[in-house]
Structure 1
Amino acid sequence: MKSSLTLLCLVVWVNVDASSAQTVCSGTLPNVPDARVTEESIKNEYKEDDIVLFSCNFGFVPVGRISYQCKKNKWVVIRQGKCKPKPCELPDETANGHYRIHVGDDYVFGATIKYTCNDGQIVSKMDNRTCMVAGWSNHLPLCEVVSCVPEATDGRVVVSGLPDDDGVIQYGHELKFSCPNPAHQLKGNPQVVCAAGGMWNNHFPTCEDVTCEAAEKIKNVNVIGIPQNNNNMKYGHRLQFECSNSKHVLKGKSEVTCSVNGQWSHSIPICYEPKDFCGPPPHVNNGDRMGGTRERYRNGESVHYVCQKYYILDPPSAYKKCRDGIWTQPITCLKPCTVDEELMNTQNIQFKYPPEDQKVYATHGDHTTFMCTGHLRLSPGSVGFHQQCINGVMNLPHCQ
C-alpha cells in the first residue's frame, strides 16, 4: 500500500513539470515602424502559435496587414505589411503666387507647404498649410494684385506698352520709352518694370536736348561758330575750321555738325605744316612698283604699281601719291583662286568645260562652271555649279 502511493505522487510531479515547459515568447514585441500592437493582441504572456496584430499610428495608413506569430520562443512574421504617411491631395494654387514644400519631401501627413506671392505681398494671416488627416490645414493664402501708377512725362517722351483705356498696370508689366525727335536724347533707362509693392524698378526717363561739347582749343586751328559764353551747342549746330597759318594744311573736315547722341558728325580736324618730300613708297603684297625706287620723292609725285601674275590690281589704275610727306591711296592685289583635280575629287565634281590641264587659276571676278561626276546629284544645301572667284575664295559645290 505504501509503495503504490509513492508511485502516484511521482506521476503527478512529472505531469506538472511537462506543463511548465511549454514554449513561451518572452521579451519585447516586434518593432514595426509607425505602428502599434492592437488592443485585442495585448497579453501578459504569449505562448506557442499565439498571433500579434499591428495597426498604424495616427496619420499613417496600412499597406497590407501586419502580423507576427510566436514560434519556438521567437516572433515570426506572417504578413509583412507596412505603414505609410497618409497622402493629401495636391495643394490649391493661389492667384498671383506659388507654393513649395517647406517641411518634408512629399504631399503626405506632416508635410508643410509655404506660399509666396510673385511680388511678396501676402494679405492672409497664414502663409503655410500642413497636411493633416482630414486634409490641408488653414485657408488658402491670398496674394494682393499689385499695380503701378504711371509717372508723369512731358510731351517729348513716347511711352509704349500702356494698357488700353487706362487699364491697370499689373506686377511684371514693362513700359518702353523713346524720343522721336532727333534733337532730343533719352536720359535714363529705356525700359521700366512694375515691381514689388507697386513701385517701378526705375524712374521714368526724360527726353533732353541733344548737346555737343565745344572742342578744346586746337593748336594752329581757328574755330568759327562757338557761342560767346562757350556753352554746349544743340543738335544741328555747325562749327567751321581753318588754319591760322596760311602755309599750313587742314587735315580733316572743314565743317562738323552736332548730331544724334551728342556727337560731332566728324572728328575735329588739325592743321600741320606740309612736308615737301616723302620717303620710299610702301610695299604692296603680291605687287611691285613700276620703275626704279628712290629714297626721296617730291610733293605731288606718283608711283604706279603692277600685280604679280593672276593677281588683279584694285583699283585698276592704282598709284600712290606723295602728299605733304605721306603716301596716299590704298592699293590691293586681289588673289586668284586655284582649283585642281584632287580638290574636286573630295567634292565629287569635275569641270563642265575642261581646260587643257586639270588645274585652273581663276582670277578675281572670274566664273567657273562645274558638274557632278558619274550619276551623282547635287547635295541638298550645296552651292550651285556656277561659282565666282572672290579675292582667292571660291565656294565649290558638293555632289552625292
Structure 2
Amino acid sequence: MVDSFHFYCIYHLINMKSSLTLLCLVVWVNVDASSAQTVCTGPLPNVPNAGVTEESIKEEYKEGAILLFSCNFGFVSAGRTSYLCEKQKWVVLRQGKCKPKPCELPEETANGHYTIHHGDDFVFGAVLKYTCNDGYQMVSKTDIRTCMVAGWSNHLPICEVVSCVPEATDGRVVVSGLPDDGGLIQYGHELRFSCPNPEHQLEGNPQVFCAAGGMWNSRFPTCEDVTCEALERINHVNVIGVPQNNNTMKYGHRLQFECSNPRHVLKGESEVVCSTNGQWSHSFPMCDEPKDFCGPPPHLINGDTVNRAREHYLNGESVNYVCQKYYILDSTLSHKTCRDGIWIGPMTCLKPCTVDEELMNAQNIQFKYPPDTNKLYATHGDHITFKCSGNSRLSPGSVGLRQECINGVMNLPHCQ
C-alpha cells in the first residue's frame, strides 16, 4: 500500500452578503501498489523447434512471470528453456535446445543400398531412398523410408533378381542359350540367334541379352526370305527370268542375259544367281561391239592367275586361275578365255570355314575328332563333327553336332 492525497474544492454561496466562498479540502487515501506494476508486452520469445507450454499461456504477463517452453513434435529436449518477465522485457533463465529425435541405424536391404535423400543424419524428418544393385529390381511399392517419432516408416524395400521372359519365335529361327530346365533367364544372360536355312537371312541383332527392368536390350530377330532385287533395265541386254509382277527374287533364283543385237558380244557373266545376304553372284553384264583382243584378265576374289598377266590377249587365248589356300574353285573350268574382246568363263573361289577354340568355348563344344592344332580350316563342302564339353547336353533348338561348311558359313551347335 502507498499513501497519496487528493484535493476537493466546494463552492458555497452566502446569500446574505452575496459573496462566493471556495472551500478546498485535502483528503489522504491509500492506493493498491499492484495497479502500478509493469507487464511484458509484445511478441513472446522465439525458441527454435519449441513452443510455450499450455500452462504458461496467459493474457497478460506481469513483472516476475515465468514463461516455460516445450519441444515441438519430433524433437527432444536437451535442457529446459524458460524466460522471466523483468522490467517489461523477457530475460533468459535457462537456455536449453530442442534436437530432432534420432532413429536407429537403418537396415540394409539385400542386393541393394540406400542413400540419404533428405537431411544429413538419421533424425526426425530424414528421408532414405533405396536403390537395387545391377541385375536386381525393386518389387516393393515404395523405395523410400522416413524417420518418424516411432521410427522408420514403411517396410524395408525388397530387391529381387531381374529376369526376362523369352519372346515367341517361329520355326525358322534357332535360339541358343535358353536354360535347359526352363528356369529363369537372369540379368545379363545372352541369347544367340541364327538361320540354319541358307534361303533365309537374319533380320535384327544376332545376340540379345536380358537388360535392366526385365527387358531385352533388343527385339528378337527373325529369319526372312533371302531376296535379290532386279537392277534397272540394261541397254542392249535381254534379261531372262525376271518375274512379271515382282521385282524381287528369292534365294537361288537365276537370271540369264543375252545381247539384243546379235552382232554384239556379252561382257560379263551370262548367268547370275541370287545368293546369301540378298546379293547376286556376279555383276550384271553389258553388251558391246566385238573386239579382236582383250585387256588384262579380270581379278578373281580370293584367287589369282597362275602366270603373270599381260596387257593384251588375242581372241581365243586363255588364262588359268588358282584359288588361295583352303579356297575351292566353284567351276568346271579353271581358266577364262578371251572372246570378241571380253573374258568369259564364270569362276568363284568358295570360302573355307574357320573354327577355333574361342568360338567353341563360347558354344560349350569340342571337336569330336581333334585336329593337330586348336584352329581348324574346313573347305567348302567339308563336314565337322562336334561334341558337348564335359557333362553338358545339346541345347533345345540348337543345330546338330555334325555341320557342313557352305561357302564360309558353318552354324555351330550349342551345348549347356
Of Structure 1 and Structure 2, the greater helix share is in 1
TM range (shorter): 0.3 to 0.5
Higher strand share: 2
TM-score by length of 2: 0.45
Higher relative contact order (CA 8 A, sep 6+): 2
TM-score, structure 1 as length reference = 0.47
